[in-house]
Amino acid sequence: MNSIFKIVELFNVFLLEIGELSYFAGRFFKEVFKRPFEFKEFLRQCYYMGNRSLLLVAVTGFIIGLVFTLQSRPTLQEFGAVSWMPSMVSISIIREIGPIITALICAGRIGSGIGAELGSMRVTEQIDAMEVSGTNPFKYLIVTRILATTFMLPVLVFFGDCIAIFGSFLVENLKGNVSFLLYYNQVFDALEFGDLIPATIKTFFFGFAIGLVGCFKGYNCKKGTAGVGLAANSAVVYTSMLLFIIDFVAVFVTDIFYDL
Amino acid sequence: MNNSTPNLKPIIAIKDLKKSYGDNHVLNGFNMVLNEGENLVIMGKSGSGKSVMIKCLIGLEEYDSGTILVMGKDIRELNHEQLDELRTEVGFLFQGSSLYDSMTVRENLEFPLRRHTKKFGVIKDTTPLVMEALENVGLAQTVNLMPEELSGGMKRRIALARTLILQPSIILYDEPTTGLDPITAKEILLLMISIQKKYNTSAIIITHDVDCARMISNRMILLVDGINYAEGTFEELSISTDPKVQAFFK
């Protein structure tokens, strides 16, 4: 009986959290069109989030391209279908692997960073100090960060995809003596706008989710240093879950459009 | 003690303020009046609700019941914009200074300025205002430093400069000398007195520090069990025979 009560209580907490997150998102949409626009801070956040994640995204993308090709090659060879490698790599990376892996990396790198930064600002009363000086901390801290993640993630995904395909080309070049031009011709031959557009649109949603959850957790951080750690940690966990849900919905919706 | 005689024109009035966190009743009907030009010291034990009270006063915390009038305006009846407008008249010095650690000292001071065009008009060059505020606290040379490069006392002074830059008529000090060595604490107190004289501000000072109360107060309130237990000048309260009052002066 006790465990049933606990489950009900946990479910209540979960629903409350969803409600608060929705309210937070609603406030974002309310504030985003209000003046003054914090353009300078938005650009600063874009720089921090984009520039500082570039190396991580590049290394991960390169390794994914490399490993993906190395692992798939023997199987394709068995069926005499190695020439399909560039098409397979490009479609799978651009449609799915690139966006989701880059988003997960950014959830860890950017989401936790936002959670910890805003959390420590909350704990040290910096957010309160902004509020009492008659400024709007939500506009300055939250709106700029969510916008920055929303616009920077597609850029990072595009960059990661290019590096991953390059990693794949390196393996093909070393193992199969395929030229750069031939490889990339085959990559682009296989791609259609129907692959690119849905994949790009969903990266905006991924970016929005990373910013939203990171900001929500940090802004509502409980007092104390433990609260900051919890904010950073739960930002990553919640964002990762949300990313998979968004991905599922995106694939489902894309599928419906393809059927039409 | 600060001997300047304040005008008896109320600038803040709190009536029957109540605030609870679940079963923990922090404020149980607190009453207070701050007059223009007055330095009112509020003393109380840790957890007695002093900080909660001034946070309610500035709209950082919701309160359960009661009335708070700041410059004649009931803060519960103000919308967000009106509250922001009122906040330009009420400075707040936080216990931990709360400087924005991703900004330089200049940016910390400019931050509130560039958002209040109603009060100051559009300021093209904030440098004179920033430098004046820094010179008031004797730290003009720190203008381009980051908060991490400053000592605790310097941070407190910069926070005071940031509070002053909006030229408020009321300043709320949340334990301004806590965590500072006696010499720095005294410097901060002298600074607070000089600022009050220069700008004719009114102030509420939350403190545990008896020396601070002696130096700066025109009047004191002792907060016990969520109510104003005793009220009077430093001299009046320090000779009280009530053991609960005496406990503060031992």
**Tokens 């199969």 label which residue?**
A176
CB contact at 8 A, A16 and A121: no
Pairing verdict, β B202-207 and B170-174? parallel
Peptide bond into A36 cis (omega under 30): yes
Structural domain includes residue B128: yes
Give the C-alpha separation, A259 to A128, whole Å. 52
Pair A136, A219: CB distance under 8 Å: no
Domain at B124, CATH number: 3.40.50.300
Q: What are the boundaries of each domain within chain A?
A: 2-259
Q: Does B115 touch chain A (CB under 8 A)?
A: yes
Task: State the residue range of the domain holding B224.
Answer: 38-48+79-249
Torsion of CA A162, A167, A171, A173, to 10 degrees: 50
- Residue B28 placed within a domain: no
pLDDT at position B116 over 70: no
Tell whether A125 lies on the interface with B, counting CB pairs under 8 A. Answer: yes
Beta bridge partners of B20: B25
Within an 8 Å CB–CB cutoff, is residue B111 touching chain A?
A: yes
Token look-up 């940031």 returns B162
pLDDT, one tens digit per residue, over B10-67 is 899 999 999 998 888 899 999 999 999 899 999 988 888 888 999 999 988 999 999 9
- A204-258 confidence digits (pLDDT tens): 999 999 999 999 999 998 877 888 999 999 999 999 999 999 999 999 998 888 7
Chain A residues whose CB is inside 8 A of the B101 CB are 124, 126
- φ, ψ (nearest 5 deg) of residue B63: -115, 160
**Contact present, B28 and B226 (Cβ < 8 Å):** yes
Q: Does a structural domain hold residue B148?
A: yes
Residue given tokens 């009220």 in the structure block: B231
Contacts of B91 in chain A (CB under 8 A): 132
CA distance A213 to A241: 11
The 10s digit of each residue's pLDDT in A175-219 is 888 888 998 888 888 888 888 899 999 999 999 999 999 999 999
Percentage of residues of chain A with pLDDT beyond 90: 59
* Strand duo B39-44 + B202-207: pairing: parallel
Give the pLDDT score at B40: 93
Alpha-carbon separation of residue B212 from A107, A253, B43 (angstroms): 48, 66, 11
Domain membership flag for residue B60: no
CA B168 vs CA B3, B119, B125: distances in Å: 22, 11, 20
Task: Kindly state the average pLDDT of the residues B114-137.
Answer: 77
Asked if residue B228 belongs to a domain, the reply is: yes
Segment holding A162, helix H or strand E: helix A144-176
Report the SS3 class of residue B18.
strand
Q: How many other C-beta atoms are found inside a 10 Å radius of the C-beta of residue A237? A: 14
- Say yes or no to pLDDT of B2 above 60: no
> Is B140 within a domain?
yes
Q: Does A39 touch chain B (CB under 8 A)?
A: no
Report the pLDDT value the prediction gives residue B7, as an integer from 0 to 100. Answer: 60
Please report residues of B whose CB lies closer than 8 A to that of A129: 92, 94, 98-100, 159, 162
A136 touches chain B (CB under 8 A): yes
Whether the ipTM is more than 0.90: the answer is no
**Distance from the A117 Cα atom to the nearest Cα atom in chain B, whole angstroms:** 10
For residue B1, tell me if it sits in a domain: no
Backbone angles phi, psi at B137, to 5 degrees: -100, 5
Q: Three-state SS for B153?
A: helix
Q: Can you say how many angstroms the Cα of residue B11 is from the centroid of all Cα atoms in its chain?
A: 14
Specify the DSSP class assigned to residue B89: T
As given in the structure block, the two tokens for residue A235 are 């930002």
Cβ density class B109-143: b for 16+ within 10 Å, e for less? bbbbbebbeeebeeeeebeebbeebbebbebeebb
- Number of domains comprising chain B: 1
| Alpha-carbon gap, residue B37 to B203, rounded angstroms | 8
